[in-house]
Amino acid sequence: MTAALARYPRRFATLVKLEHSVFALPFAYVGAFLAVGGVPSASTLAWLTVAMVAARSLAMSLNRLIDADIDTRNPRTSSRELPQGLLSKTQVMAFALASLALFLGAVSQLAPLTRWLWPIPVVAFAAYPYLKRVTWLCHAWLGLTIGLAPIAAWVAVTNESPLEAWVLGAAVATWVAGFDVLYGLFDLDVDRAQGLHSIPARFGPRVAFAVARGLHVATAVLLTAAGLLLDGGVFYWLGVALVTGLLAREHALVSPSDWRRLDAAFFTMNGAIALGFFGFVLADVLL
């Protein structure tokens, strides 16, 4: 009995791909640190972390619930917890509600404006899984949703959302949308067979690569614009250089005719981008 219960934390962690928090959480910290030009208080940083992890857990559990039937029919996703019966829909719904409660509790400890704005990300989370059923613009919606991370963090620590925060959020949005377009290549044939929508399924790999490249050029431009608005220091600009270089490397790893290293391009490079940029921003505000 004890051994069986011990499996559930691991199953829920796998369900929400906890390790993928590396994509959004560092940029939330970037927004918070740049907002105050230093390190926020320990309590603010702790509640911000709880809110971000809970929000992401809510988003992923809703995604898994809504997409359970689609995941069952896709060989790449058929081994997930719901298709395999390792977790029930009731259990995942309970986890989603617990994540929402934790998110709301954390938000209540942050700046007052967050207590009014919290429905925006929750609605975005709930809507996202349905978009692939109706439009290839689903990548843009995901980008906009995760792009809220630095904006929300800025609001959480200052109760304000200036232009700099929105430009930074736009940079994250184009970055995420770009790599999500590439990620859609994994399911190209399955999406077409099931009538699901994505840029790769609708327009093919060559257009998908061109769109992803364009979005990532926009990421570099927007990070540059944010730095100018923020009067970023030398470490900020080194961070922009790192992001630009890693994005270039990401696109050098794969091509419309060679996807063999798509896993490396997606996971390794984008994780390094988020952590590396945060590291340079931290150095910029501390030194």
Domain ranges for the chain, please list them.
18-286
Distance of CA 151 to the CA centre of its chain: 13
Residue with tokens 């809970």: 54
The CATH architecture assigned to 18-286 reads: Orthogonal Bundle (1.10)
CA distances in angstroms from 108 to 1, 21, 48, 51, 280, listed in the order given:
37, 22, 11, 10, 30
As a whole number, mean pLDDT of residues 41-58 equals 94
- Reply yes or no on whether the pLDDT at 1 is more than 50: no
Contact 47/54 with Cβ under 8 angstroms? no
Closest CA to 267 of 254, 257, 282: 254
Closest CA to 181 of 144, 142, 220: 142
Q: pLDDT averaged over the chain?
A: 90
Residue with tokens 């030398």: 234
Largest CA distance in the chain: 58
Contact 280/27 with Cβ under 8 angstroms? no
pTM over 0.75: yes
Length of the chain: 287
pLDDT in tens, 210-269: 999 999 999 999 999 999 999 989 999 999 999 999 999 888 888 888 877 777 667 778
Closest CA to 64 of 102, 91, 25: 91
pLDDT in tens, 169-196: 999 999 999 999 998 998 989 999 999 9
